[in-house]
Amino acid sequence: MASSFQSRCVCLLTVVFAAGAFSSQSLAQASYSTLKQASAAYHDGQVAIAHRDLRAAQADFEQVVRLAPQAEQGHSALGAVLVSRGETKAGIRELEKALAIQPNDDTARMNLALAYEQIGNPEKAVPLFSRLETRARMQQHELPSYVLAAYARSLAQIHQVGPAIVKMKAAVALDSQNAELHDALGSLYAQRKDWTDAQQEFAAAIRLNPAFGVAHLHLGLAMRAQGQENGLAEIVQASQLEPRNAMIALELGNALVADGHDDKAIPVFRHALELEPNSTAASYQLALALQRSNQIQDAIVLLKKVVAEEPDNSSAMTNLGMALCQAQQAKDAVPFLQRAVALDPHNVTALENLSAAYVQLNEFDDAIHALQTALKLAPNQSQLHYDLGLAYKWQDNATAAIPELETAERLNPTAPEAPYLLGILYLQEGRYSDAAREMSLALKLRPQDADGWATLGSVYENLNMLPQATSALHEAIRQNPTQPDAYLTLASVLVKQNQPEEARMERKKAADLMRAHMNFQRAEVSTNAGNAALHAGDVAGAVLQFQDALSFDPDYADAHLGLARALDREGKTIEAAEERQKAEATKSAAKP
C-alpha cells in the first residue's frame, strides 16, 4: 500500500536565478570588447527572466557561454533556464560546469540538486542537498520549504524515510498553509505505516484545500489500513474531485475489489484504462476482475497484453495460464505456466495451475510431477494433496490416491471434497464402513448433494444398515426427485425390509422417470429435426416433426414454439398463437 502514497508535491521545478552583475573574475585573458558583450548579454538575459521570457533568456545566456566559457555565472544561469524549459539533462550539464568553475555557487548547487531530484536520481541529489544545508546552517539561514521538500523526497527514494520525515516536517513548519506539503508529510508517515500521524497530515491537507483529490485518496487509504469506516467514501470523493486522474481511478478499483465488488470495480478499471491506455497496472487489475467474474475471454485478451509488455511477470503468466485453462485451452496454457515456473521456481500457484492444464490434456504423469514439485515447496497445503490424490484416482491408482486424500482431510477438516472422494474410493475397494464414515462427514460439511446421499444409501445397504439407507435415499430423492437410480436403490432396500408393496411403488416411480426421460430425448431429437426442416424451407415436414415431438412430450416448450413458427409460415396465425400460449404455460408450470 505504501506505493500508493506518492507525494503530489512535485509540481513544476522551482529554479533559482541569481541576481547581480556579470563578474569578470577568471576572465583575465578575455578581451575588453568580448567581456563587454558577454556582460550585456547576461544583463539582457536577466531582463528576459524578469519578463518570464525564458526562450529569449536562453538565447542570451547561450551567447554569454559562447563569449565567456570560463564565466561561472553564464553556465549557472543557462542551466537554470534549460531546466525550467524542460531540457533537464542539458541544464544539468551547464550547472555542473558552473560548480566546477565555482564550487561555492549555492544557486547552481540548489538548481542542480532540484534537477537531479526531479529526474529521479536521488543518489546525486542527496549530497548536494546535504552540502546546501550545511552551508545554510553556517550562514545562519534556513533552506526554502520547496528545497527541503525535494530533499525529503530524495531521501525517501533511497529508503531513508526517517530523515525524510525530519526534512518534510521542517518544510511544513516553514509553510504551514501548504496543503501539498502536509500531504507529502502524510505520505512519508504512511510509508512507515505510521497511520495515525499520516491520517492527521492528510486531514490537515484537506482542511487547507477541500478540493485536493489526492489528499482524499491518501486519507481514504490510511483509514482503510486502520480498519476505519468511510475510507472508501474518501476514495470515491477523490475520484469525483479528479475524475481524470488515472491513479485515483485505479486505487478506487482496487478498494472495490478488496471489498468484494468486482462488478463495481470493472467499470472503474475500464475508466482508468481509458485515461491511460498504456497502463499495465490498470490492464492487469481489470483482467483479474474480469477473470473472477467469469468473463474469461476478455480477461485473456488483457492478460496477453500484460505479458507482452512485461515478459518477466510470473504472476501475470500464472493468471493467464489459469484463464486459458478456464477457457478449456490447456494446450495454450502450458507454455505460459511453464514460463511462470521458470521465472519463479517457488511459484506454487503456477505449478498447481500447470498440473490442472496437464489434467485437461490427460497428461496425468506430468500433472503428478508438477504437484509433487509444488508439495516440496508447500507440504502443508491441503489443496495440493487433494489435487494429487485426484490425479492418482484418474490413473486408477487408489493405493497412491488414498494417503494423499487422507492428508488433505487432516490438513483441512472443514473441506468436504477430500472425505467425499475418499468415500468413493473406499466404496470401490469394498471398505464399506470406511466409505460410510467419510461420506457421512462429507455430507455434514456439504449437505446439498443428492448424488452423495444416493451413494451413502448404497453404502448403508451394503452394510445392511437398512434404516440409515432408507433415510439417506429419501434425502437424495427429496433433493433430486427426477433421478431414477435413487428410487431403484430404495426399492431394493425396502424389499430387504419386507416392504414389497412400497418397493413396487418405488420401482414404478423409477420406470415412469426413465420413460419420461426417454420421451424427452425423443422429443428433443424430433424438435431438432423440425428446426432443420424449417431452416431448409420444408414447412410441411417441419410441422410433422414438431407434432411428433409433442406426441412424445406434450409439455416440451421448444416443440410448441417450433410448431408455432411453422404454422406462421403456413399462414395459420391463430393456431400459431395457441402453440405459443401452450409454450408459455409449460414454462410457467415448470417454474418452482
The C-alpha cell that represents 590 in the structure block: 415448470
Q: Which of 104, 128, 157 is the last residue of a domain?
A: 104
Cα 8 from Cα 6, distance rounded (Å): 6
Specify whether the CB–CB gap between 386 and 417 falls below 8 A: yes
In this structure, is residue 35 part of a structural domain? yes
In this structure, is residue 267 part of a structural domain? no
Q: Residue 58 belongs to a domain with what CATH number?
A: 1.25.40.10
Q: DSSP string of 315-373?
A: HHHHHHHHHHHHTT-HHHHHHHHHHHHHH-TT-HHHHHHHHHHHHHTT-HHHHHHHHHH
pLDDT of residue 367: 97
Phi/psi region, residue 572 (left: phi>0; alpha: psi -120 to 50; beta: rest), is beta
In this structure, is residue 74 part of a structural domain? yes
In this structure, is residue 339 part of a structural domain? no
In this structure, is residue 210 part of a structural domain? no
Nearest to 381 by CA among 406, 359, 408: 408
Q: At what angle do helices 145-157 and 179-191 cross, to 10 degrees?
A: 20
Q: Identity (one letter) of the amino acid at 507? A: R
Residues of the chain with pLDDT under 70: 1-31, 589-592
In this structure, is residue 473 part of a structural domain? no
Specify whether the CB–CB gap between 110 and 134 falls below 8 A: no
Residues spanned by the domain of 533: 526-590
Total domains, the chain: 2
Cα 451 from Cα 480, distance rounded (Å): 8
For residue 244, the 8-state DSSP code is T
Specify whether the CB–CB gap between 65 and 75 falls below 8 A: yes
In this structure, is residue 70 part of a structural domain? yes
Classify each residue of 134-159 as buried b or exposed e, where b means 16 or more C-beta atoms within 10 Å of its C-beta.
Answer: eebeeeeeebbbbbbbbbbbbbbbee
In this structure, is residue 404 part of a structural domain? no
3-state SS track over 475-511: HHHHHCCCCHHHHHHHHHHHHHCCCHHHHHHHHHHHH
Q: Identity (one letter) of the amino acid at 98? A: A
Specify whether the CB–CB gap between 58 and 81 falls below 8 A: yes
Nearest to 333 by CA among 368, 296, 369: 296
Tens of pLDDT, residue by residue over 142-200, are: 999 999 999 999 999 999 999 999 999 999 999 999 999 999 999 999 999 999 999 99
For residue 516, the 8-state DSSP code is H
Classify each residue of 370-388 as buried b or exposed e, where b means 16 or more C-beta atoms within 10 Å of its C-beta.
Answer: bbebbbeebeebbbbbbbb
Q: Which of 104, 128, 158 is the last residue of a domain?
A: 104
Cα 64 from Cα 23, distance rounded (Å): 12
Q: DSSP string of 13-26?
A: PP-----SPPP-TT
Cα 97 from Cα 118, distance rounded (Å): 19
Environment class of residue 277 by beta-carbon count within 10 Å: exposed (0-12), middle (13-18) or buried (19+)? Answer: exposed
The C-alpha cell that represents 126 in the structure block: 542527496
Cα 436 from Cα 430, distance rounded (Å): 11
CA atoms within 13 A on the CB side of 500: 0
Nearest to 23 by CA among 80, 61, 71: 71
Phi/psi region, residue 30 (left: phi>0; alpha: psi -120 to 50; beta: rest), is beta
Q: DSSP string of 124-143?
A: HHHHHHHHHHHHHHHTT-PP
Specify whether the CB–CB gap between 509 and 487 falls below 8 A: yes
Cα 102 from Cα 189, distance rounded (Å): 38
Specify whether the CB–CB gap between 378 and 348 falls below 8 A: yes
Cα 239 from Cα 214, distance rounded (Å): 9
Quote helix, strand, coil % in the chain, to nearest 5. 75, 0, 25
Nearest to 223 by CA among 204, 196, 249: 196
Cα 389 from Cα 371, distance rounded (Å): 10
Tens of pLDDT, residue by residue over 281-304, are: 999 999 999 999 999 999 999 999
The C-alpha cell 533552506 sits at 143
Q: Which of 104, 135, 162 is the last residue of a domain?
A: 104
Cα 35 from Cα 46, distance rounded (Å): 17
Cα 150 from Cα 121, distance rounded (Å): 12
Q: At what angle do helices 122-138 and 145-157 cross, to 10 degrees?
A: 140
The C-alpha cell that represents 296 in the structure block: 474469461
Tens of pLDDT, residue by residue over 302-314, are: 999 999 999 999 9
pLDDT of residue 140: 92
